[in-house]
Amino acid sequence: MTLEVKQIEKSYDNAPLLRGVSFTVDSGETVCLLGRSGSGKSTLLRIIAGLENAEGGQVLWDGRDMSDVPVHQRGFGLMFQDYALFPHRSVEQNVAFGLRMQNLDDREIKKRTGEMLDLVHLTGFANRKVTDLSGGEQQRIALARALAPHPKLLMLDEPLGALDRTLKQTLLDDLRQIVRTACIPVVYVTHDQEEAFSIADRLIMLNSGKIEQVGSPEQVYRHPVSLWVAEFLGLGNIILAEKNGGKSDTISTQFGEIPFAVGSGVSTERELHLLLLPEVPGMRISLEKNPEENEGSYMLITGQVTETIFLEGKYRLSIKTNGPSLRFVSQTQFNTGENIRIEYPIGEIQCLN
Ligand code: ADP
Ligand code: MG
């Protein structure tokens, strides 16, 4: 069971919105479309669902072109943030909606709705009014309704958008488990990086209607392909550097000159953007009491700690330098006001396009 989206093109008022978007999603895999508001994510889902036509490209299910298959025959489940529940109907009637469309008999419908309510941890809610439920409970009901008719594919469009952070986290944990159990391809749309990182097997980074990068959360985090990805994900430290004319194997950075071979495929501009992740193997952080000579294989950064936050056993440091403010993660404690030195392994520096 595979969804394949091939070279989708879509524009509104002659302005291109989706430009050659292609990806596949396999059974049991959750793919997360991540991009700014307005980047065309919802439009793409509507095209997959058959609610909207693309100007070019194809939506294939197990290799079969879906263009002549109407929405209700595709068997795709949808859960949209604004896909409101029917307010005057009970929880059970809401969950049963898709099952009634399939003309199942009452006993079967009751059984399946009961199973779905168990799945979303709302056993016993069948006869409640949906208007009496909290926002989080309503989203669970919407999920139960989407999954009840055994969809071949589940698409979720910012399903947790309206909820507060703590509730989001709990629901995300549940959602991850529930979609794994369903063992169908899942396309999850969000503009929220944290949400995407907690749910995705694979991230698809959408920038102005074009796919900028595809990869596991770890791949994308450790090796963002572009300045846009690094900035969008808030990966942190981006510093400026300049190629040195003639001596091509050194560059001038905001923290001094370092030996650095700029890889092929990287910007031909003189000015470079370098990414320093907050935590990399071999990085050393120490108090700047007795500044030692810096060895060649490190970039030396000095600065003052402006904030230190203890989180999950580590210290998150904000550091004021002569250049930009930087963030690093330390295993050992440093206090606000302390002057520190960071030796960042040059081999871990990444050059962004
Ligand atoms: P996202 O879900 O990523 O926020 P959307 O797919 O909702 O993005 O929409 C992207 C842009 O496409 C919108 O900002 C809007 O300008 C345009 N758009 C979407 N739907 C329509 C429409 N039916 N008519 C005209 N423009 C539209
Ligand atoms: Mg949207």
Residue the block writes with tokens 């190629």 = 243
Residue type, 230: A
pLDDT at 266: 64
Q: What is the mean pLDDT of residues 214-241?
A: 93
Residues 50 and 103 in one domain: yes
Residues 67 and 168 in one domain: yes
Nearest to 92 by CA among 134, 123, 68, 121: 123
For the segment 22-47, what is each residue's pLDDT rounded down to a tens digit?
A: 999 999 999 999 999 999 999 999 99
| Domain of residue 274, CATH code | 2.40.50.100
pLDDT at 174: 85
Q: What is the mean pLDDT of residues 209-214?
A: 95
Reply yes or no on whether the pLDDT at 123 is more than 90: yes
Q: What is the mean pLDDT of residues 177-202?
A: 91
Residues 330 and 294 in one domain: yes
Residues 183 and 241 in one domain: no
- For the chain, how far is it from start to end, CA to CA, in angstroms? 36
Residues 241 and 219 in one domain: no
Confidence of residue 332 (pLDDT cuts 50, 70, 90): very high
Number of domains composing the chain: 2
- Centre of ligand 2 to C-alpha 187, Å, is 13
Do residues 25 and 203 lie in contact, with contact meaning Cβ atoms separated by under 8 Å? Answer: no
Residues 139 and 250 in one domain: no
Q: Is the CB of 310 under 6 A from ligand 1?
A: no
For the segment 159-187, what is each residue's pLDDT rounded down to a tens digit?
A: 887 777 788 888 888 888 888 888 899 99
Look at ligand 1, atom 14, and give the residue with the nearest C-alpha. 38
Domain assignment of residue 230, yes or no: no
- Centre of ligand 2 to C-alpha 22, Å, is 18
Do residues 275 and 238 lie in contact, with contact meaning Cβ atoms separated by under 8 Å? Answer: yes
- Of residues 224 and 245, more confidence is placed in 224
- Centre of ligand 2 to C-alpha 227, Å, is 23
Residues 156 and 184 in one domain: yes
